[in-house]
Structure 1
């Protein structure tokens, strides 16, 4: 069973609404806006989590961020290499 829905009235700049209508395709504007709002809520929740973690452990430094990006890049590279040899 799907989630209950409600009808809401929102106001947004016309150019944004028109661009959203064009991009929404067959799923429709409501589904497009719902997905956008859901992504924003996820981002807000992640930002709140980061704030709590940084308050407890201090901010993450640029070097730490880059080291984690490098690890992720390496893992993706190894995964792609593994996928090619398995094919």
Structure 2
């Protein structure tokens, strides 16, 4: 499998917790599809203290996985939304 593009896209989305609406990440997203995973190297700003745990309400919103040989956060369905 091919690795994700190192340079990455230029469009930035804000990733929020669906439960308490806290800002989690500023992420460089590519493509038009829904946000399913988040490559760690594309995260521009990280507002979480513990990986995959919301800083405000403490809910688990993702799991750490290797996707195409690259570390990523795989989001749990319905726990986050992007603007």
TM range (shorter): under 0.3
More strand per residue: 2
More helix per residue: 1
